[in-house]
Structure 1
Amino acid sequence: MKQIQYQYDPEHFRRSDPNKYNSSKLKSEEMILSLGPQHPSTHGVLRLEVISDGELIVDVVPHLGYLHRCFEKHAESLAFGQTIPYIDRLDYLAAMNSEHAYVMGVEKMLDLEGKLPKRIEYIRVLVAELNRLASHFVAIGTYGLDIGAYTSFLWLMRDREHIQRLLEWLCGARMLYNYIWIGGLFYDLPVGFEERCLEFINYLKPKMVEIRELIIENKIFVQRTANIGVLPLDLAINYGCTGPVLRGSGLKLDLRRVDGYSVYPELDFEIPVGKGEMGTVGDCWDRNFVRVLECDESIKIIEQCLVQLMGDHKRTRDFNPQAMLPKKVRPQAMDLYFRAENPKGELGFFFRSDGRSDVPLRVKARACSFHNLSVVPEISRGAMLADLVAIVGSVDLVMGEVDR
């Protein structure tokens, strides 16, 4: 492997740990490599500065700042409702879930929590769980691609395309939806949406069995992921990890159950956790296995929502999805933090309102991908250089909400 000369701050690693990283005493086998930001496995804009001793990783330093989303400054110059399109661009693979979290936070400030028609709540959960499936399909499919499995990526993109078409039919967009609005929805479900969605779910169930056999239980996949990138539970908690990254380490924590927002308390679903079935609890295999199991649980939630939307809360002529939508969103003066369970973990929004303007004084996003990325150096030290891509991919990052 060709040695790459380090051209940046020579005191960088000495300052971070003077006893461990003294650039004047580097061994002859040690070198500093730059993984990304062009490498496809680093999600386009993430740069990992890697110190390696031969094939072993000594340390990893993530470098951010290539996307400049500037979400929080945008949110402080726009009205509450005008910010929703910018929400879509945080985790652009789970825009419905992000909108749901933001909108529920604003509705809590307006004292609208629990007052919306049930049909609106079930539609919100339906589209959020469809988007959760689509997000996990990208996570699992591209992870297979990262470690050399091409078929899994093609199969999951094929099934994800059905979800994309459903959501495009719903609101006209494939990824950035602007569908869930404060106090309601952009529009009711199109006529026939429930029936088409049920057809898709019936089609998807046997496909999930195929995906599990093709990827998760594949001998080569197990060898590449079991006992790799082990994240102990105490370390995951200390770093603020959430979502499948935390549940893969064995903690049954899901905000849909803990906080019980929207109609989730009325729905029956399980919270999968890693159990170390193929290796050690909290390894790369566990994190991916949790995502596959969560897909099964999302299918159960979607089925229950469809039963309600075609039964007790079916469409009526007098139903107005924007009935609770205020003409001017002007909450009382307060500070409020609201969180929800995104596909990648806890997405939270801190709001500060002065009570006089429809533009917030402060909006702060608590991005789950940022916290999950921060633990990568800890679980990469001592691993093989070839396993770094497997470790980063198992965390399932979206840089749009990291560099927000």
Structure 2
Amino acid sequence: MEPIDLELEEGELELPAEPMHLNMGPSHPAMHGTVRIVLELSGETIVKADVQIGYLHRGFEKMCERGTWAQVFPYVDRLNYVSPMLNNVGYALAVEKMCGIQVPDRCQWYRMALGELARISDHLTCTGAMAMELGAFTPFLWFVKAREMVWDIMEEETGARLTHSFGRIGGMAAPPTRDFKELCRGALKQIIGIVEEGEKMLLKNRIFIDRLENVGIISGKDAVALSWTGPCLRASGVAYDVRKAHPYLKYDEVDFDVPIGKSGDTMDRFLVRLEEIRQSKRIIEQVLERMPDDGPVNVDDPRVILPEKRDVYTTIEATIQHFKLIMEGAKVPKGECYSYTEGGNGELGFYLVSDGSGTPYRVRIRPPCFPITSGLSKLITGNMLSDIVPTFGSLNMIGGECDH
């Protein structure tokens, strides 16, 4: 009779064991918010994984349907709260699509610059936190230092470091500050230097490489089947980027590359985000060269844009315009539309329905995190328990966006 296990020594017998059930989350430090994973383990190997979301549900869509169209901006800030400016721009473009509005060129360039700064902030947070969860604390501190440089610029421009509420239907809340271009150029140079330092420390570390390579692999075909977009899809070799495939703003007028991975593992997702930081720097440099130093950032349309405060206090016409926009909201034409942009994690879509009033009839978000998180079970099943941390970190699940 052959032994049950060839690794057992003579005289030893392997006893049957029940699979172990383990709860990971929803308040685990590596869960990036609140996610619960119910695991079935054989030793340390994951046999089955049930990923459960919804612990951060705040009724985002229904809250949006109770105020005016303009009052949605503070809510979209709190979707992906790591790159809120991209949400501001995405929602503004959706409402402008319904209204048939095109903002001035200066506003389009300004939105691109702020959006790409927000993308850099998003990728620095994801890659830095992912490294920290594997024990690399120093690169995390460096990447957060670089992120602070982005937030300093955002605070200078919008008055807020994180939740800006700076977008407006038909433009932006204010034009670029006088020093905006110089601040960007100075910060970008330092940010890339910090990223390179972090790469030197991480990508020559055998422990870090072994924890990421050939872990959490997903093919391009499977990623597309799961409706993945963004860096996670591109890491699997699919070069889909909304900015290239369906250009908006002025993205068809700037040069940048779409980085892709080869094997679709956790290392590829890490490297793709670092390369996208460099591509965002390329885009911002071109934007700064081409953005006019003066000119309007808002459309000249009293139906959607608030008048100057000085005029509100001195003329009855501006007072009436201000009162109606604040109390009743801008009247968006009756109809529906779907508008999509490239968010920090992929395709960020807004499906809007208007009944012709100043309040949205329906606001539906297509969050990139939701389909990506739905693939987590597939990625970790068959791997080790410790592989959950880098794999989940590489997906960059943002609770507010996933649960909305």
> TM-score by structure 1 length?
0.88
Match of 2:270 among 249, 271, 288: 288
Match of 1:308 among 284, 287, 290: 290
- Are residues 219 and 315 of structure 1, via their aligned partners in 2, closer, same or farther at CA, if it must alter by over 3 Å? farther
1:67 matched to 2:67: no
Match of 2:223 in 1: 236
Write out per-residue CA displacement over residues 308-355 of structure 1, whole angstroms, 9 at most, x where no aligned residue. 13xxx1125xx3546454454222221211111001011111111112
Does the 8 A contact of 2:107 with 2:297 survive in 1?
no
Match of 2:382 in 1: 382
What amino acid maps onto 2:334 in structure 1?
A: A
Does the 8 A contact of 1:97 with 1:132 survive in 2?
yes
Q: Structure 2 CA distance, aligned partners of 1:244 and 1:320?
A: 31
Does the 8 A contact of 1:339 with 1:348 survive in 2?
yes
Does the 8 A contact of 2:103 with 2:297 survive in 1?
no
Match of 1:56 among 24, 34, 45: 45
- Are residues 217 and 127 of structure 1, via their aligned partners in 2, closer, same or farther at CA, if it must alter by over 3 Å? farther
- SS state of the match for residue 189, structure 1? coil
- Are residues 194 and 177 of structure 1, via their aligned partners in 2, closer, same or farther at CA, if it must alter by over 3 Å? same
Match of 2:244 among 239, 253, 257: 257
What amino acid maps onto 2:115 in structure 1?
A: A
Match of 2:81 in 1: 92
Match of 1:351 in 2: 352
Match of 1:44 in 2: 33
Match of 2:197 among 198, 210, 215: 210
Q: Structure 2 CA distance, aligned partners of 1:29 and 1:393?
A: 30
Q: Structure 2 CA distance, aligned partners of 1:315 and 1:283?
A: 46
1:365 matched to 2:365: yes
Q: Structure 1 CA distance, aligned partners of 2:216 and 2:202?
A: 18
1:222 matched to 2:220: no
- SS state of the match for residue 350, structure 2? strand
Cα RMSD after superposing both structures:
1.4
Match of 1:110 in 2: 99
Does the 8 A contact of 1:247 with 1:290 survive in 2?
yes
- SS state of the match for residue 108, structure 1? helix
Does the 8 A contact of 1:121 with 1:263 survive in 2?
yes
Q: Structure 1 CA distance, aligned partners of 2:135 and 2:190?
A: 27
Match of 1:299 in 2: 281
1:76 matched to 2:53: no
Q: Structure 1 CA distance, aligned partners of 2:300 and 2:215?
A: 51
Does the 8 A contact of 2:39 with 2:49 survive in 1?
yes
Match of 2:314 in 1: none
Match of 2:401 in 1: 401
Q: Deviation of residue 217 (structure 1)?
A: 4.5
Q: Structure 2 CA distance, aligned partners of 1:141 and 1:208?
A: 10
Query: Size of the alignment, in residue pairs?
Result: 365
Q: Structure 2 CA distance, aligned partners of 1:301 and 1:65?
A: 36
What amino acid maps onto 1:314 in structure 2?
A: D
Match of 1:6 in 2: none
Tell me, which stretches of 5 or more residues in structure 1 are unaligned?
1-26, 276-280
What amino acid maps onto 2:387 in structure 1?
A: D
Q: Structure 1 CA distance, aligned partners of 2:399 and 2:346?
A: 14
Q: Structure 1 CA distance, aligned partners of 2:271 and 2:137?
A: 18
Q: Structure 1 CA distance, aligned partners of 2:297 and 2:337?
A: 28
Match of 1:132 among 119, 137, 156: 119
> TM-score by structure 2 length?
0.88
- SS state of the match for residue 241, structure 1? coil
- SS state of the match for residue 351, structure 2? strand
- Are residues 178 and 155 of structure 1, via their aligned partners in 2, closer, same or farther at CA, if it must alter by over 3 Å? same
Match of 2:169 among 171, 182, 186: 182
Q: Structure 2 CA distance, aligned partners of 1:162 and 1:322?
A: 31
Does the 8 A contact of 1:67 with 1:400 survive in 2?
yes
Q: Structure 2 CA distance, aligned partners of 1:207 and 1:65?
A: 36
- SS state of the match for residue 102, structure 1? helix
Does the 8 A contact of 2:94 with 2:339 survive in 1?
yes
- SS state of the match for residue 92, structure 1? coil
- SS state of the match for residue 393, structure 2? helix
Select the structure of larger CA radius of gyration: 2
Does the 8 A contact of 1:194 with 1:306 survive in 2?
yes
Write out per-residue CA displacement over residues 40-85 of structure 1, whole angstroms, 9 at most, x where no aligned residue. 1001311111111111001111122221221100111111111010
Does the 8 A contact of 2:170 with 2:299 survive in 1?
yes
